[in-house]
Structure 1
């Protein structure tokens, strides 16, 4: 878990308040041609950054510009914290389940906490997971927003190899099928319950993300 740094004054524009949680999400926006993707998240909000493992979620969040005090929950941070406490050389599969548990517990704590904006890193390729995130947002009196990384499976696999951690073939195939259905739903406007929905890809992830109130 990390805290994002402040955005320099005037770095990103502001907009009027976001729609209520029952409003239909806007159509996924285009990927910017240059510079970071800019999102306006006024009020008490939750941003879910989702997509295939290796899609570029951690890359996107590594260069995040956001208002001071924004809480960022990245599963990689949970994994690193656990690895530091375990004997050197402990294989990740031995504590994968504990990493997932610790990450989700941190997400719940942050969403119910006092930070105005919480950014959550999860694959969330399954509709039930995205639904759980929306319910948690409502429980924490937050407006939920979705940022989906639309990355082809072969590119996501390249990203996994680059980070040195590859998801097993069968679970990844499940993720890939779910991600394809998710993209279809997003393009059709059938992914409801979000105040806003935006999409980007791996090249967009490398340009980073800027949040503003």
Structure 2
């Protein structure tokens, strides 16, 4: 069990390659009874899928899923009173910067969790869940993740984040709320 100390209104981002196991880890997340809101784009995808014809390929509404997911993150960061845990690959520096900006503007302590997985493990995870990221997109995630992995091994914390924790696919996470 990996204990991660968080403040009551923290913005915790669980990042990693698509297919790394972020949703699985979030399903096992422990908070010691503290209220936690978990935002995963799969929640949006499931809701939207129910609104569209069953045979509509995901690629046609993927941009809408990502837009709605990001709007939910923003709105709940503004209006929420407790812990906010966001599932987001965050391999792009612009995505990390956007999340930092949300944390700063909403007065949230920012913690970055990186779920480390090899490209092969992540691809196997995608196959297992039955949803593959397009080849070029996955290759870009893999390149950026390799750069991040090297920096994390050196103890680097991405700019704007208060802390950074590297996790493995076998880890379980317990968020321990500490006073502000």
Q: TM-score range by the shorter chain?
A: over 0.9
Aligned residues of 1:55 and 1:201 also touching (Cα < 8 A): no
Q: Equivalent of 1:212, from 166, 176, 179?
A: 176
* 1:199 matches 2:166: yes
| Richer in helix (by share) | 2
Question: Distance between the aligned counterparts of 1:77 and 1:44, measured in 2?
Answer: 22
Residue-by-residue CA offset, 1:149-208 (whole Å, 9 max, x unaligned): 11110110000000000011111000000001111122223333221110112222xxx3
Root mean square deviation, CA, Å: 1.3
* 1:103 matches 2:103: no
Question: Distance between the aligned counterparts of 2:35 and 2:168, measured in 1?
Answer: 27
CA shift for structure 1 position 68: 4.0
Question: Distance between the aligned counterparts of 2:160 and 2:151, measured in 1?
Answer: 13
1:118 matched residue in structure 2: 84
CA shift for structure 1 position 110: 1.0
Residue-by-residue CA offset, 1:1-49 (whole Å, 9 max, x unaligned): xxxxxxxxxxxxxxxxxxxxxxxxxxxxxxxxxxx32212123210000
The secondary structure found in structure 2 opposite 1:203 is coil
Q: What TM-score, normalized by structure 2, do the two folds share?
A: 0.92
2:45 matched residue in structure 1: 79
Residue-by-residue CA offset, 1:32-82 (whole Å, 9 max, x unaligned): xxxx32212123210000000001100000122224431110111110011
Between 62-71 and 171-180, the greater mean CA deviation after superposition: 62-71
Residue-by-residue CA offset, 1:97-130 (whole Å, 9 max, x unaligned): 1111111111101111132210000000012211
Task: Structure 1: state its 5+ residue gaps.
Answer: 1-35
The secondary structure found in structure 2 opposite 1:112 is helix
4+ residue runs of structure 1 moved beyond 4 angstroms?
A: none
CA shift for structure 1 position 211: 1.3
1:21 matched residue in structure 2: none
2:8 matched residue in structure 1: 43
Q: What TM-score, normalized by structure 1, do the two folds share?
A: 0.78
* 1:60 matches 2:17: no
